[in-house]
Amino acid sequence: MAKPIPGPFELERALQGQSPALAAKDAVHKLARSGMADAKERLARLVRDEGPVDTRRRAALGLSLIANARTALLELLDVGEPSILAAVLLSLARVGTAEDAATIRTLARRLTGPLAEQGRFAELLLAHRLGLGLDIVPPIQTPPEREVPVRTSAITSGQPQEAMTAWTRFVANAHLGFEPDKRRCMLIHCARRSILLIPSLELANQIGQRLLAARMIVGATAAYEREAAAWHHDLWILSTPASGGVELQAWTQGGLACYTGSGRVTGEQLAFEVRTTASTRLALARISGRLTKDSLTIEGTVGDRAPSDSPAPVLRRRPE
């Protein structure tokens, strides 16, 4: 079972880095999910404090879990530290309105390197949450990896009861941007990893009409964290209308495109295929599936990359 939220005194000590039992970074996430009346104000103060940058970033990201946090985030857009500004933009994308698109775009241009990519992704996420057009927020191209795997194994589906058990332990690290459909949740085993797929409830009916009408967040994935004994939000799955169907992209919470592909819409059914992108060093996966109003089915393969002389970069599960 997931560990309980600590009491106010223990939580405050941890937030100040004075608890041997709970790290400040973990205390921030627990505060964001605590439901405490002053959680929003305390997180906002942490963002502005001159404490560790890591803790301040987590506090900014944690604000997206709290209702009515948009105003607090808008008031934090003047933070000077670029990495913290990027975190504020990501949270604003999760809870903001269409009016915030121009603000996110302007501030994202002040960032450089990977932080600039996070800023661009924040704008893209907002566009899919709210169904904003390509004329308002341009797409980000994510070409697939062309490398051929040296060996492959099949992606297999877990039992329905496994998916339901995983769902009961699912913890959102951010506002998902859609209503999850636990009825069609599915667990897949991909090499040595298990992944929980969570479709949007909005696609429980009128699948074709909704997908072809506008951009949207069609679902998310979750990964299991053994220490916390819980499943945590890992990727967002974004859909964009295209000729004859939709374009699909799966992004980390920090704005790294992991999978890309397309889908064909036929009546009340979406048939899709996605592959690992060229911008990651993830295992080479080719995943196909079918989404209907009643079910989600997945199949595919995952393969190893050819040995390289240079070490592969580490993909972090979420922005830390």
Q: Is there a single domain that holds both residue 88 and residue 210?
A: no
- Residues 110, 194 within the same domain: no
CATH code of 33's domain: 1.25.10.10
Within 169-228, residue ranges assigned H as helices are 207-213
Taking the C-alpha atoms of residue 190 and residue 137, their distance in angstroms, rounded to an integer, is 33
Q: Is 115 in the same domain as 173?
A: no
Same domain, 121 and 172: no
The tokens describing 40, both together, are 């929003």
| pLDDT of amino acid 284 | 94
What is this structure's pTM?
Answer: 0.87
Task: Say if residues 289 and 299 touch (Cβ distance below 8 Å).
Answer: yes
What residue numbers bound the domain in which 179 lies?
A: 151-304
Same domain for 48 and 102? yes
Number of independent structural domains in the chain:
2
Does some domain include residue 317? no
Q: What is the DSSP string of 250-292?
A: EEETTS-EEEEEEEEEETTEEEEEEEEBTT----EEEEEEEEE
160 and 293: one domain?
yes
Question: Is the domain of 273 the same as that of 231?
Answer: yes
Q: Residue 89: what pLDDT?
A: 96
pLDDT given for residue 129 in this prediction: 95
Q: pLDDT value at position 313?
A: 47
- Rounded-to-integer distance, Cα 218 and Cα 272, Å: 12
pLDDT computed for residue 316 by the predictor: 47
123, 162: one domain: no
Query: 157 and 82: one domain?
Result: no
Whether residue 144 is contained in a domain is answered as: no
pLDDT, mean of each 10-residue run, the chain (320 residues): 55 68 71 79 87 86 87 94 95 94 94 93 96 92 91 94 93 80 94 92 93 96 86 94 93 93 93 94 94 94 80 47
Inside any domain, residue 139: no
Is residue 166 domain-shared with residue 291, that is, in the same domain? yes
Give the pLDDT of residue 308.
67
In a domain, 143, yes or no: no
What are the DSSP calls for 113-164, one per residue? HHHHHHHHHHHHHHHHHHT--TTTS-----PBP-PPPSEEEE-EEPPHHHHH
DSSP 8-state assignment for residue 238: E
pLDDT digits 0-9 by tens, 226-273: 877 889 899 999 999 998 899 999 999 889 999 999 999 988 899 999
315 within some domain:
no
d(CA 265, CA 251): 22
Same domain flag for 183 and 106: no
Instruction: Answer yes or no: are the C-beta atoms of 107 and 93 closer than 8 Å.
Output: no
**Do 193 and 264 share a domain, yes or no?**
yes
Phi, psi of 266 (to 5 degrees): -130, 105
Beta strands in 159-215 (DSSP E): 170-171, 186-190, 193-199
Question: What pLDDT does 24 receive?
Answer: 67
